Amino acid sequence: MRFALIGKNISHSRSPAIYRKLIDESVEYDLLDVDSEDKLPKLSDLARNYVGVNITSPYKTHYFNQVTITDPTVAALGFINTLSFQSTGIFGTNTDLLAVRLILKEFKLNHQTPHLVLLGSGSMAKLVTIVAAELGLSLVNISRNTNPNMAHMDLKPFENRSAQNIVINACSRDFVFSGQQSPQNIFWDLNYHFIPHQNALPFLVKEYHDGQEMLFLQAQAAKDFWPI
């Protein structure tokens, strides 16, 4: 069986190792590093070579209108990160949505009144906002569009003193947060193995979570979605 990841500058990806662990050590998993959208492979070519394909930034919208999407929440998102090539057609979904939903449900279960302070305005921030609304979680969204100095700002005015504040970094890997926040916060970085945050933030907050758990849950959901 062959699988692949499509993205830009993805040589650091841990996906090959994760899927070999989840599926089988003999699995072939290719990294299709594409530097511009006009060079992306056609779906017909992908279908000839792969059982399933993951998609990462900046190409999550490219195949959206070319595949069948059965999940209405994924359809409302407007972008996908997983393709499944089946005998009945080509299907798309967003396994990040499934992973974020599981993790936020766990936060809600473990903390009676979680309050989310969301950093970012891109696709992952949109996804977190949708799931938070599903689960009835309070959320305030801060972005670099309206707060150019967000990397160094004080988050305390956006926190809820009567709740467990969970700061969620949904920004790209060029963003490093070094501002002020409560030491009682939980900081959840959607980027995995992000050294600048790993080196500093665990000593400044109650809990630091990086994106490795989400990466694994996303991969498990993709495995379940593919016709293996």
CB 84 within 8 A of CB 90: yes
Domains of the chain: which residue ranges? 2-93, 97-211
From residue 3, give the alpha-carbon distance in Å to each of 23, 41, 75, 203. Answer: 11, 14, 23, 39
DSSP string for residues in 157-198:
GGS-TTSEEEEEE-S-TT----SB--TT-EEEESSSS-HHHH
Q: Show pLDDT as tens, one digit a residue, over the chain (228 residues).
A: 999 999 999 988 999 999 999 999 999 999 999 999 999 999 999 999 999 999 998 999 999 999 999 999 999 999 999 999 999 999 999 999 999 999 999 999 999 889 999 999 999 999 999 999 999 999 999 999 999 999 999 999 999 999 999 999 999 889 999 999 999 999 999 998 999 999 999 999 999 999 999 999 999 999 999 999
**CATH classification of 2-93 is 3.40.50.920, yes or no?**
no
Question: What is the rounded CA–CA span in Å between residue 171 and residue 176?
Answer: 9
Task: Please tell me if the domain spanning 2-93 has the same topology as the one spanning 97-211.
Answer: yes
Question: What is the rounded CA–CA span in Å between residue 138 and residue 47?
Answer: 41
Question: What is the rounded CA–CA span in Å between residue 45 and residue 47?
Answer: 5
pTM across the whole model: 0.90
From residue 107, give the alpha-carbon distance in Å to each of 71, 97, 103, 213. Answer: 24, 15, 6, 13
Pick the CATH number of 97-211 from 2.40.160, 3.40.50, 1.10.287, 1.10.3470: 3.40.50
